[in-house]
Structures are given as C-alpha cells and as structure tokens.
A and B are shown apart, each in its own frame.
Chain A
C-alpha cells in the first residue's frame, strides 16, 4: 500500500490479572488507520473497544498487561515507549477524547489555562508569548464552533454545558495538531442534536487538517455515515471489517447481522425489534477455543465450538467466521 499508515495494530492481545488469574480481554486484534481516514470500531459494551483505544495511548487500567502484538503509530512501536516518550507524544502526535465530558476537566482551572498548559508543555517556545498563546486558543475555540470564545476562555468548567465541555475537550486534544485522534464513545453522553454538532466538528477537522480518527462507538447509525471503514468487535476480537456503507448494508458475519437488525428504523415500524439473544460473555467465562460468538449465534455448527476461526477475505471484507467457507461453497455450486 502506498498510502500513509498512521496507526497500525498487529495481533494485539491484552490481559488482566484478577485474583492472580490471567484473564484475556483483547484477543489478537489487528487494525489499520490511514492518513485522513475515519475508522469506526463498533461492538456492544464489554467487547474490548475502549480497552483497545486506551491501549493506543497507554491509559489501559494498571492491572492489565500486553500479552502480544504491537501498536505502531507512524511506524513506531508505542508499546516500547518510556513514560517520558509517552508524555512527549500524547496530546502532541496523537490524542484521545472520552465519553464523560462533564467530569473530564479540572473544575478549579479556567478553560483557557487548561488549554494553555497543553500548548506550553509541548512547545516551550510559546511560554513567554502570552498574546500569541491566547490567539491560538481563541482560534481553536472558534474552530470547535464555540460561540463567544473570549467568554469560554475565562470560564470554569462548571459554567459550561456537556456539549460545550466536549468541544473544549476536542480543542484540548487537537490544539497541538496531532495526526491521530482516538474518540472513545465521544458522542455517547451527548443529546442527539449536540451529538450531530460534535460529529460535524470532527469531520471538519478530518478534512481541514487531514486528521485520522479512530471512532469508537456502539451506535451503528452514526458510524455508517461518519466513518470510511468499520471494524466490528465482539468479546475482545475483531469479527468483521470493511467499507462502512457496504458493511452496514450487507453484513456477513452473524454478529454484525444481529447488531444491524437491532437498529430501530422507520421501515421496521410496528414490528418487534430484533435483538441478539444473551449477553457478551463476561471476561471470566471466555474461552479461547472456537468462535467467540458461538453461544449466541443462530446458525452455529459443530466446527464453531472447537476450532479457532481463521481470518478470511471475502467480498472486500475481512471476516472471522467458519461459515463463510460454507457460504462460499454454496455460492460456487449455484454459480456453476
């Protein structure tokens, strides 16, 4: 591939130590984000999406550890970073925004000063230039579409609404012009109209600054229109990935199918909304043999229980399902 790879995760696995027992939470995840691309990572709660996201910026919980794999940003394996390197790069080369905008800012420090601190720790040369600093911050606040940036600059977090705070957090994350933004359920806690505004800001940033975004969400409706490509995650593993529109229109993996048929829509009015039966297995109940989705899959076969699922390419998709072979052979037979 000739395109610029910004983020590349290869065979990444993460485990927890709980009661002296090693428990696997993220299993053999590989994904790529190219320059200027918006990539979605979707799945139910507890699928390991956020853990993967947090691992990219080294903020995974302290009782977790990397089992295998590498996370490369700009071809550098970040898992080998020292804490000093992390501090130099976070908020500078790559940033993250979180789900909870209400509590994510220091309540005692003015917005302007919090952003100022972020600039100054990465760019010592601006420390003296107060006028320039302020201008940079005001410009940033304008570009995240905050009205009255002067007022916001001098406000404390408690004076702002949730949507305003999330914009401030985006400003904080992007002030140093990073090449990658990880958005961990960044719009989940916001109401629908604010959600849309925040997505607008992110997509403007994506176009204007050629910013790559890894967008983690459980809302397939948003992901479909917002992302270029999607990875679907289930129980710590990626099960399907492909172009956003295509994947949502014709899901192949039984889990993706289940997820998509449970999105409410006008065409399904009056009928009972379908759901995927059961829950994501808790960490303690997961097995590493066979397909992770086997327990909830409607069409599972014997092979799904016992054998590890290989990665396969099919119709421009990357898939992890035993039954693809079956479907392939059926198709081949019919085509003949």
Chain B
C-alpha cells in the first residue's frame, strides 16, 4: 500500500531528525562530562584520558555516528548514578509504564466512548448538564489531584485499593491490576473527558449530514445509522485526540508514578534529572520521543484504515 509505505518512510525520517536533535542538545549542555565524573580537582592528563575513552575528543558528527550505531545495537551507555547499562535500567522499568499507559488508555476509551455516544443520543437537559459538568471538571483537574481524591476515597475511606506500590504480573494478576487501577484511573480521567466532548460534538454534527438523511430514507433505524455509519465518521477527528492522549498519558505517568511510588519510566526520569545522569536522560528523552512518534504514525495509519479518501490520496 502506497499510503502506508509513505507514512513509514516519513516516520523514519522524523526519528532520525529527533535523534540528531536530542544528541545535539545534550552536547550543548554546559560542563564537560569528563570533568563532571572525575571532579574539578582531577589531573588534566586524567581528564584527557577519560575524554579519549568517552570519545569526547572526536568531532560531533563522528560522535553522533558512534552513539547512534551503539544505540541501534542496544548499547545506550552506562548510567553515572547507578553504574549499570542504561538499556538495562530502561528495560526493567518499561514494563510498569507500558502497563500503566495501556490500562489508562483503555480506561479512557471505555469511559469516554460510551458516555460520548450517550450524551449525543440524549438531548434531555437533566442528563446532559451533570455529565458535561463532569467532563469539564475532568479536563480541568490535573491528574495528581484526581489521584489524591481517589486515594482518599478508595484507600483511606473504603480500604479497597492500595495507595502505593507495584505488584508484578508474575506474582499475582489481580494484585497487579489492583496496584495499577488507581494510577491508571487518575491519568485516564482527563483523556476520558476530552473524548466525551469531542465524540459528542462530532456525532451531533454528523447527524445533520446528507448521508444520514439518505440512510433514514432507506429505512435504517436511528441506532443502525449511529453504529454503522455515524460512529465511524465521528471517530476520524477523535483519532487525532488518541495521538495527543498517548503523549498525555506518558507525561501524566511521570507525575503519577511518583505519587503512587511505581518504579516505572516516570520515576526513572525524575531521578535521572535530579542526579544529572546524562546518558540516562538522553536515552529516556530519545525513548519518549520514539513512543510519541510511533503512536502518531499509528494514528496516521488508522486514519487511512478508516477513511478511504485519505488512504487513496496520492494514488490517483
């Protein structure tokens, strides 16, 4: 398929540019890494020797190529703070963040889509006003506030869910979900609220389109029209939000992992920044950009899957 190949190519180019950008930013940071490691009192000869082993004496293009080839082979350098390979550190935390992100994304879809449809179907004021107030609130309240409220209700008052800690899937599946439920819910609220608003307004505007009138005229019931025609058409703009939502979820997880003491990528980022652990930060920034770029690529491809006009554009 022409469209999908084109998307893949443009994604690869973006990834390359992002890697160059990330690399350059960390090169421009003030302070010499060798001095940083050895301290200011170190002998110039010692610093020179370390610079040579770290390839710091070579020109930036060579250094980028070296870094990129190693990174492609999975070698992202060694963390200053933990004295362990960066890839190993990321690998051990990625699991938690991935679970958290997936769960919160699913929750926001599960809350957002049905409520969005419901709100679009009913135009009774006593249903709409409370629900649209809820969605306004959901968008306005930051995730850590939601987290605090949820902890207060479910952990402190009702004692049904843990307020911190992570239980691996291998130990107990139910325990694992229980430990991730509150953090995911906190992140999902905002996303759900956005989906509700967009889906509702899209469905309502789609309902006035000519093709809906045609569908009525051939005898489809309102529900058949909604589920077989309107929903698909309304989801195209909502897809854009999915892309934004993924980056939101990742951003949200940085804060939420700290609130709930989950040893995920978010926790790793905060600790690497506070300890100026350059190789780790660099790898994490790169990692986050890759996720955002790839999800956007998937969103773009989904546009093509849903909408033949997009899929076929450029073929004609």
User: In the assembled complex, which residues on chain B have CB atoms less than 8 Å from the CB atom of A108?
Assistant: 229, 232-233, 306-308
Q: A57-B217, A121-B224 are in contact. Are A158 and B211 (CB under 8 A)?
A: no
Q: Which of B214, B218, B233, B306 has the most CB of A within 10 A?
A: B218
Q: A59-B217, A89-B219 are in contact. Are A103 and B211 (CB under 8 A)?
A: yes
Is A109 an interface residue, CB under 8 A from the partner? yes
User: How near does chain A come to B211, taking the closest CB pair, in angstroms?
Assistant: 5
User: How near does chain A come to B221, taking the closest CB pair, in angstroms?
Assistant: 5
Binary CB contact string for chain A from 57 to 88 against chain B (1 if under 8 A, 0 otherwise): 10100000000000000000000000110111
Task: Please pick, from B214, B219, B232, B233, the residue contacting A87 in the complex, using a CB distance under 8 A.
Answer: B219
| Pair A173/B217 contact, Cβ less than 8 Å | yes
| Pair A105/B216 contact, Cβ less than 8 Å | no
Task: Please pick, from A90, A98, A107, the residue contacting B219 in the complex, using a CB distance under 8 A.
Answer: A90
Cα separation A159 to B312 with both chains bound (whole Å) = 10
User: In the assembled complex, which residues on chain A have CB atoms less than 8 Å from the CB atom of B217?
Assistant: 57, 59, 90-91, 95-96, 98, 173
Q: Which of A104, A122, A173 has the most CB of B within 10 A?
A: A104
Q: Which residue of chain B is the closest to A96 with respect to CB atoms?
A: B217
Task: Please pick, from B218, B221, B222, B233, the residue contacting A172 in the complex, using a CB distance under 8 A.
Answer: B218
Cα separation A117 to B216 with both chains bound (whole Å) = 12
Give residues of chain A (293-313) contacting chain B, Cβ–Cβ below 8 Å: none
Is B220 an interface residue, CB under 8 A from the partner? yes
Cα separation A265 to B221 with both chains bound (whole Å) = 47
| Pair B213/A104 contact, Cβ less than 8 Å | yes
Question: From DSSP, what is the main secondary structure of chain B's interface residues?
Answer: helix
Q: Which residue of chain A is the closest to B217 with respect to CB atoms?
A: A96
| Pair A95/B210 contact, Cβ less than 8 Å | no
Is A118 an interface residue, CB under 8 A from the partner? yes
Cα separation A222 to B232 with both chains bound (whole Å) = 39
| Pair A90/B233 contact, Cβ less than 8 Å | no
User: In the assembled complex, which residues on chain B have CB atoms less than 8 Å from the CB atom of A89?
Assistant: 219
Is B309 an interface residue, CB under 8 A from the partner? yes
Q: Which residue of chain A is the closest to B308 with respect to CB atoms?
A: A156
On chain A, which size bracket covers the interface? 20 to 34
Task: Please pick, from B209, B213, B219, B307, the residue contacting A92 in the complex, using a CB distance under 8 A.
Answer: B219
| Pair A98/B218 contact, Cβ less than 8 Å | no
User: In the assembled complex, which residues on chain A have CB atoms less than 8 Å from the CB atom of B214?
Assistant: 98, 104-106, 169, 172
Cα separation A158 to B217 with both chains bound (whole Å) = 21
User: In the assembled complex, which residues on chain B have CB atoms less than 8 Å from the CB atom of A169?
Assistant: 214
Give residues of chain B (195-235) contacting chain A, Cβ–Cβ below 8 Å: 209-211, 213-222, 224, 228-229, 232-233
On chain B, which size bracket covers the interface? 20 to 34
Task: Please pick, from B210, B220, B232, B308, the residue contacting A100 in the complex, using a CB distance under 8 A.
Answer: B210
Cα separation A65 to B222 with both chains bound (whole Å) = 20
Cα separation A98 to B211 with both chains bound (whole Å) = 10
Binary CB contact string for chain B from 238 to 255 against chain A (1 if under 8 A, 0 otherwise): 000000000000000000
Give residues of chain B (5-19) contacting chain A, Cβ–Cβ below 8 Å: none
User: In the assembled complex, which residues on chain A have CB atoms less than 8 Å from the CB atom of B210?
Assistant: 98, 100, 103-104
Q: Which residue of chain A is the closest to B229 with respect to CB atoms?
A: A106
User: In the assembled complex, which residues on chain B have CB atoms less than 8 Å from the CB atom of A84?
Assistant: 221
| Pair A90/B308 contact, Cβ less than 8 Å | no
Task: Please pick, from B215, B216, B221, the residue contacting A106 in the complex, using a CB distance under 8 A.
Answer: B215
Give residues of chain A (146-181) contacting chain B, Cβ–Cβ below 8 Å: 156, 158-159, 169, 172-173
Q: A90-B218, A107-B233, A121-B219 are in contact. Are A156 and B228 (CB under 8 A)?
A: no
User: In the assembled complex, which residues on chain A have CB atoms less than 8 Å from the CB atom of B221?
Assistant: 83-84, 87
Cα separation A84 to B221 with both chains bound (whole Å) = 8
User: In the assembled complex, which residues on chain A have CB atoms less than 8 Å from the CB atom of B232?
Assistant: 108
User: In the assembled complex, which residues on chain B have CB atoms less than 8 Å from the CB atom of A122?
Assistant: 219
User: In the assembled complex, which residues on chain B have CB atoms less than 8 Å from the CB atom of A121?
Assistant: 218-220, 224
User: In the assembled complex, which residues on chain A have CB atoms less than 8 Å from the CB atom of B308?
Assistant: 107-108, 156, 158
Q: A107-B233, A107-B307 are in contact. Are A173 and B211 (CB under 8 A)?
A: no
Cα separation A159 to B308 with both chains bound (whole Å) = 10
| Pair A107/B220 contact, Cβ less than 8 Å | no
User: In the assembled complex, which residues on chain B have CB atoms less than 8 Å from the CB atom of A92?
Assistant: 219
Give residues of chain B (172-197) contacting chain A, Cβ–Cβ below 8 Å: none
User: In the assembled complex, which residues on chain B have CB atoms less than 8 Å from the CB atom of A90?
Assistant: 216-219
User: In the assembled complex, which residues on chain B have CB atoms less than 8 Å from the CB atom of A96?
Assistant: 217
User: How near does chain A come to B119, taking the closest CB pair, in angstroms?
Assistant: 18
Q: Which of A83, A96, A108 has the most CB of B within 10 A?
A: A108
Task: Please pick, from B213, B222, B233, B306, the residue contacting A98 in the complex, using a CB distance under 8 A.
Answer: B213
Q: A109-B229, A117-B228, A156-B308 are in contact. Are A103 and B209 (CB under 8 A)?
A: yes
Q: Which residue of chain A is the closest to B220 with respect to CB atoms?
A: A121
Cα separation A122 to B213 with both chains bound (whole Å) = 18
Q: Which residue of chain A is the closest to B235 with respect to CB atoms?
A: A108
User: How near does chain A come to B5, taking the closest CB pair, in angstroms?
Assistant: 20
Cα separation A87 to B220 with both chains bound (whole Å) = 6
Cα separation A196 to B209 with both chains bound (whole Å) = 27
Q: Which residue of chain A is the closest to B307 with respect to CB atoms?
A: A108
Cα separation A158 to B213 with both chains bound (whole Å) = 18
Cα separation A194 to B228 with both chains bound (whole Å) = 31
- Cross-chain pairs A/B with CB under 8 angstroms, 5 sampled: A91-B218, A95-B217, A103-B209, A108-B229, A118-B219
Inter-chain pairs besides A103-B211, A105-B211, 15 sampled, C-beta below 8 Å: A59-B213, A59-B216, A89-B219, A90-B218, A91-B219, A103-B209, A106-B211, A107-B211, A107-B308, A107-B309, A108-B307, A118-B219, A121-B219, A158-B308, A159-B312
Going nearest first, the 5 A-B pairs with the smallest beta carbon separation are: A91-B218, A91-B219, A103-B210, A90-B219, A156-B308
